[in-house]
Amino acid sequence: MQLSYNQATTMENSNLEKDLRYCEQFGYDYIELNIDRKLPEYLETHELKDLKDYFDHYHLKPLALNALKSFNNLSEEDHEQFVEKFKEQLAIAQTLDAKYICLVPLITEDKIHLSEIKKSAVKMLRELSDLAKPSNIKIAVEFIGLPTCTINHLSQMNDILKETDRDNVGMILDVFHFHAMNSSKEALRKTDVKDIFILHMTDAEEYPLGVVRDEDRMWPGEGVIDLEWIVTELNSKGFKGAATVELFRPEYYKMAPDQAIQKAKETTLKVLRDNGVSI
């Protein structure tokens, strides 16, 4: 595995320039660029070419653009807008030589039948797959462990990817989301490792399933997620992708960004190495 950093971890206490500097300093291999806030902020005073130059000159490389939200069950108008946004991100990913564009499913209080979610998600993923095909950019879908997310557990994600059946479409397996809606160990045992493009590493406070939220994430190894089992299972399956540390904890936003980025690395590496991963 390679070590990667998600910019949400220092969302309130850093910017892209600092994240790049500290990730390089502490020896990360990759960074997931935040396209909602940090990348647009950077581009207010820089060109995309500046970022490409940075990656050309340093060890750190762009793993993914994270994330385009609400890709499924859209109105016709919203569908068109989403496809346009995807094309924009595809161009950015190609310029930067990023490997993945991350997608997040629709989160809604509306009740939608599972069959309608699957039908819409598969159709959209195939459309986006065709758009990405001429490039080397792959599409990584992250199921979200929220009761209101239309794709919120691993077996549902697997079912959608199987039906989509495209080599350039896979998933982000975020251990928090796996835990938060009680995805089963059996589902992970059945998951084709080729479908897991990225592993998101974190931990969680001990709240009831379905209630625990992103803000309750903790440094890997400090919470209640069965990381030992998940990491051992992925390692035995031969997962060779990147492990990205990703937190959204307000308490950690009070830390100096270099300290947070160092702590994120140390806690993630310890969990991975303690469970047999060579990294």
Stretch that binds Zn ion, among 37-45, 49-57, 87-95, 173-181 (CB under 5 A): 173-181
Stretch that binds Zn ion, among 29-37, 97-105, 154-162, 245-253 (CB under 5 A): 245-253
Return the amino acid letter for 121. A
We find the least distance from the C-beta atom of residue 103 to Zn ion, in angstroms, to be 12
Q: What angle is formed at CA 223 by the lines to CA 219 and CA 225, rounded to 5 degrees? A: 105
Select from 195, 246, 248, 267 the one that contacts Zn ion (CB under 5 A).
246
Stretch that binds Zn ion, among 13-21, 82-90, 128-136, 171-179 (CB under 5 A): 171-179
On the 0-12 / 13-18 / 19+ scale of CB atoms within 10 A, 30 is buried
We find the least distance from the C-beta atom of residue 175 to Zn ion, in angstroms, to be 9
CA 83 to chain CA centroid, nearest Å: 20
Q: What does the DSSP 8-state code read for residue 33? A: E
Stretch that binds Zn ion, among 131-139, 172-180, 225-233, 269-277 (CB under 5 A): 172-180
Q: Among residues 8 and 125, whose Cβ is nearest to Zn ion?
A: 8
- The answer to whether 137 touches 86, Cβ cutoff 8 Å, is no
- Which residues between 187 and 206 bind Zn ion (CB under 5 A)? 200
**Rounded CA gap, 144 and 152, in Å?**
5
Q: Among residues 118 and 200, whose Cβ is nearest to Zn ion?
A: 200
We find the least distance from the C-beta atom of residue 212 to Zn ion, in angstroms, to be 14
Query: Is 216 a residue that touches Zn ion (CB under 5 A)?
Result: no
Backbone phi, then psi, for 45, in 5-degree steps? -125, 0
Q: Among residues 93 and 175, whose Cβ is nearest to Zn ion?
A: 175
Query: Is 214 a residue that touches Zn ion (CB under 5 A)?
Result: no
Tokens coding 112: 């939608």
Query: Is 174 a residue that touches Zn ion (CB under 5 A)?
Result: yes
Q: Among residues 160 and 243, whose Cβ is nearest to Zn ion?
A: 243
Each residue 125-164 as x (binds Zn ion by CB under 5 A) or -, in order, gives ----------------------------------------
**Rounded CA gap, 268 and 247, in Å?**
11
The bridge status of strand 203-204 relative to strand 217-218 is antiparallel
Q: How many helices (H) and strands (E) does the chain have?
A: 10, 10
First to last CA, the chain: 6
Stretch that binds Zn ion, among 44-52, 109-117, 243-251, 269-277 (CB under 5 A): 243-251
Cα dihedral 107/73/35/266 (nearest 10):
50
What is the torsional sign of CA 5, 99, 44, 40?
negative
We find the least distance from the C-beta atom of residue 29 to Zn ion, in angstroms, to be 17
We find the least distance from the C-beta atom of residue 119 to Zn ion, in angstroms, to be 25
Backbone phi, then psi, for 234, in 5-degree steps? -65, -40
Interface contacts to Zn ion, rule CB under 5 A:
174, 200, 246
